[in-house]
Amino acid sequence: MVRLVPRDTKFYDMFADMASNIVEAAQLLKSILQDFENVEVRTQQLKELEHKGDDMTHGVLVKLHQTFITPFDREDIHQLASAMDDVLDFMHAAGERLVLYKITYAPAAAAELADVILRQARQLEKAVTALDKHDQVIEICVEINRLENEADRIARRALGELFENEKDPINLIKQKELLEVLETATDKAEDAANVLEAVVLKSA
């Protein structure tokens, strides 16, 4: 049978590109938070990845508005692109705080949180290239949510220690915001996973 209106598979490629860009940014952010070397130069690289991600997101949305038949719900394409864009934004925001607030050290929890974001990003990368495999996507979504819970525990413990030990209020403000911004990136990855779960549940 001839498929008269072929569904546009290009969206999948675009999401795969977005995911691998997020993986690259998460690797970079993690390594910055591990050694705090050349922070300004490497945060600039992070900013470039974030700009690249913005262009990718914009590309998905422009394509979405101009495409009549989409491979999955329009609203889900929009929300997935937004959530993946947010992950990158909050990673970039974390890097920016380092420069802006001249942060030269952070508790180990900061690099641990970046590592959680990296692991979530790798799961996202797997999921967007396997959207036809229902069970695999559901498993990935469960894992991304589990990682978000792990991030939550890491951030909570680190914030508790911060309020216990940091007596300089301005340092406390800086470190608190760094930890919160990192933790928010993991929330956004969970949002992306929730959209992916919706996509496979609807097609079941």
Q: What is the 3-state secondary structure (H, E, C) of the chain?
A: CCCCCCCCCHHHHHHHHHHHHHHHHHHHHHHHHHHCCCHHHHHHHHHHHHHHHHHHHHHHHHHHHHCCCCCCCHHHHHHHHHHHHHHHHHHHHHHHHHHHCCCCCCCHHHHHHHHHHHHHHHHHHHHHCCCCCHHHHHHHHHHHHHHHHHHHHHHHHHHHHHHHHCCCHHHHHHHHHHHHHHHHHHHHHHHHHHHHHHHHHHCC
Return the range that interacts with its own copies (CB under 8 A); candidates 28-36, 37-45, 119-127, 169-177. Answer: 169-177
Q: How far is the CB of 62 from its own copies (least distance, A)?
A: 6
Do residues 39 and 94 lie in contact, with contact meaning Cβ atoms separated by under 8 Å?
no
If one asks whether residue 165 binds its own copies (CB under 8 A), the answer comes out as no
Q: Which of 38, 55, 62, 153 binds its own copies (CB under 8 A)?
A: 62
State the helix-helix crossing angle for 108-128 and 74-100, rounded to 10 degrees.
Answer: 160
Under rule CB under 8 A, residue 65 binds its own copies: yes
Q: Which amino acid is at 78?
A: H
What's the chain's length in residues?
204
69 binds its own copies (CB under 8 A): no
Q: Which stretch binds its own copies (CB under 8 A): 14-22, 42-50, 107-115, 155-163?
A: 155-163
Among 49, 131, 159, 185, the residue binding its own copies under the rule CB under 8 A is 159
> Which of 174, 182, 185, 190 touches its own copies by CB under 8 A?
174
**What residues numbered 71-100 form the site for its own copies, per CB under 8 A?**
75, 96, 100
Of 130 and 198, CB closest to its own copies: 198
Of 5-13, 14-22, 26-34, 167-175, the window that binds its own copies (rule: CB under 8 A) is 167-175
Which of residues 3 and 167 has its CB atom nearest to its own copies in the complex?
167
Cα–Cα distance between 84 and 150 in angstroms, integer?
19
Residue 70 touches its own copies, criterion: CB under 8 A: no
Interacting residue ranges for its own copies, rule: CB under 8 A: 61-62, 65-66, 75, 96, 100-102, 156, 159-160, 163, 167, 169-170, 172-174, 176, 194, 198, 201-202, 204
